[in-house]
Structure 1
């Protein structure tokens, strides 16, 4: 499941202040004396943003960043961590080495909004997802049982609620970097044209952050692929780490299905996709599934559980943050694209029934 959440509390960050000065974080961590404390970029677990040695249970972090960053704070030799946003301003916190997640911050409106959102919106949604997934795992086959259908309806309903809350949050907190961050992973729910307009309405400092510029590049690339366009080539790894490129299948019809293990509708259509593969692979159609999973373990487990026997690839972003699904104009999943022998796009649909009818007509003409 991807993160989804929102809050209806307006917040206006004084961005001229946020980006013009560096940060100073004064912290008290009871029990950390003489140990190193690290701030690790949540987007790159190998990137240490800052580190200081704890003296008399006190730490002071100083530096300058080009935009706010969500970090994990860890103490040397301890597995617990605290998550908070580092922004270019002065603020403070107090916590405990063996329970860093109990952190209390003051002087940071961005973190105040973040914690309120996590506690009041995100956590309740996550707990409901966990409970429904637990129920789903306990359902006795067949998979189309009444019980499973009811659980899937609940999951779909949760996704609708989650998307609605996130959209509300972004609108209510348009001057917050937190909204920009949420938009970067929820622009599908917000809407592509609305997302572009939202970013362009920001003041110069927020609009010119790396996140805003990267997001604009991605969104403007989406929805550009149309029928009769040449399908963009890609090179992605399969479950065993072997690289496959679309160009290697030139001369054959190719069906590409975009999905993810956390996507309920994607998983529900897999039995139909299996039937399609059995029907058309024998006619020479190459089936490729491209997963948008960020967790490769979840991806591999879903492939095995759903018995997907054709080529399974994992989507990746390039150094500009643009993925294969972006290049293919995929703004929502599941989505299926049919490509002809010359590499031209023949059909784009989010409904397998339409794909089946389309392919049936093609092969009926040949017979």
Structure 2
């Protein structure tokens, strides 16, 4: 059980130490080819410093500093190399994100002492869109923070009492809560697929692996509307390695030899829920996980569940001995090439154990379901 807080990835960047660089913006003038931020903050005495930073690949990079004048007013203006995400802050705890491009005219107001909760923004459609995303994300975070501790406590009590049915039910509730809480953000993504802000949200905050179909749709549209944007390129680069094994996609075919020397294809098991299990006899975590897999298999094998185990072994005898020793009575295949396994290459396996749960049509519906998570998922789909 774990809490799913969508702001986590963003907060990690927001609170990162800024890299001090020579500012690339200027506080002079506001010609048509420049951006301008006109701000007015409550509880910001004259002389208060306001900082502008650009979102880089892993952290915010300092770009400019302004000083608050009378009535809490300040101004940033200058040029940017391309449309991007920027941070305006008084302190690390009081900051907002804006989208800036040359020609932007942004009006920013709020309370300097609780800026993220009180700010409003006008004049920039992308900045206004981020504000809507921010409100949806904060609502999601609050919902999860309120609900997850109770679910975690119930799960812990059920685990201590050995009530596996209750554990699975609570796990299902947590998964449903997670999916439900994402919907407002997902709806904004669907409504605004051509915005760099949406590209940022999909890449950095939503999990592209769990939302692959939606993310891929956004990437497709951005490649047409903003092909040269770094945010488009970042999203595409994030999706490419996931494309073959994302949730919802058809699992790539595997055809390897079974212990008897005959080839067995993954698609030969079509019509059942299938767990593709990547493991090896020499992999201690794999062997430690095997009892959980055996337990799930014995419970659900007569209800339409099968396992297709792909070994990363190179020694045939050790592979076969491990199968017997651990009581793994399902389908096994291997090309005995270790990490050079053809199936491992296709599925992008970087560590084992690794697993993919397929529905009867061969679509991936779960990944790396370990411990009780596999049985809980099977209990849900094999009602």
Equivalent pairs counted in the alignment come to 246
Distance 1:197 1:174, change over 3 A: closer
Deviations, residues 209-242 of structure 1 (Å, cap 9, x unaligned): 011112212322334586589xxxxxxxxxxxxx
> Are residues 1:69 and 2:82 paired?
no
1:1-367 equivalences under 5 Å are: 1-3=4-6, 21-30=33-42, 31-41=44-54, 44-45=58-59, 47-56=61-70, 57-65=72-80, 66-71=82-87, 73-75=88-90, 78=91, 80-88=93-101, 89-101=104-116, 102-119=118-135, 121-139=136-154, 140-143=156-159, 145=163, 148-184=167-203, 185-191=206-212, 195-196=215-216, 198-202=218-222, 206-223=226-243, 253-254=282-283, 272=292, 342-345=338-341, 349-351=355-357
The structure with the larger Rg is 2
Give the match's secondary structure for 1:132. helix
Q: Work out the CA distance in 1 between the residues paired with 2:150 and 2:66.
A: 45
Q: Deviations over 1:127-170 (max 9, x none)?
A: 22112221134335452546554442222112222455444332
CA distance in 2, matches of 1:341, 1:252: 13
Say if 1:26 and 1:172 are closer, same or farther in 2 by CA, change over 3 A.
same
Cα offset, 1:32, TM superposition: 3.1
State the superposition RMSD in angstroms.
4.3
The gaps in structure 1 that reach 5 residues or longer are: 5-19, 230-250, 258-268, 286-337, 356-367
Pick closer, same or farther for the CA change 1:150–1:126 going to 2, 3 Å: farther
> Could you tell me whether the CA contact under 8 Å between 1:252 and 1:341 is conserved in 2?
no
Cα offset, 1:27, TM superposition = 0.8
> Structure 1 residues 202 and 74 mapped into 2: Cα distance closer, same or farther (>3 Å)?
closer
Q: Are the aligned partners of 2:105 and 2:123 in contact in 1 as well (CA < 8 Å)?
A: yes
What's the TM-score, normalizing by structure 1?
A: 0.53
**C-alpha separation between the residues in 1 aligned to 2:172 and 2:112?**
42
Name the CA shift for 1:80/1:2 in 2 (closer, same or farther; >3 Å): closer
Q: How far did 1:255 drift?
A: 7.8
Work out which structure has the larger RCO, using CA pairs closer than 8 Å and 6 or more positions apart in sequence: 1
CA distance in 2, matches of 1:28, 1:354: 51
Kept in 2: contact 1:38–1:74 (CA 8 A) = yes
Q: Distance in 1 between matches of 2:282 and 2:149?
A: 39
Residue 41 of structure 1 and its aligned partner are, at CA, apart by 4.4
- Checking the alignment, whether the CA contact within 8 Å between 1:253 and 1:340 is kept in structure 2 is no
Task: Compute the displacement of 1:61 (Å).
Answer: 1.1
> Which sections of structure 2, spanning at least 5 residues, go unmatched?
8-31, 246-251, 257-279, 297-310, 312-316, 320-333, 345-353, 358-367, 372-383
Q: TM-score, normalised by structure 2?
A: 0.52
Could you report, residue by residue, the CA deviation over 1:231-283 in whole angstroms, capped at 9, with x for unpaired residues? xxxxxxxxxxxxxxxxxxxx9744888xxxxxxxxxxx99937999xxx9xx9
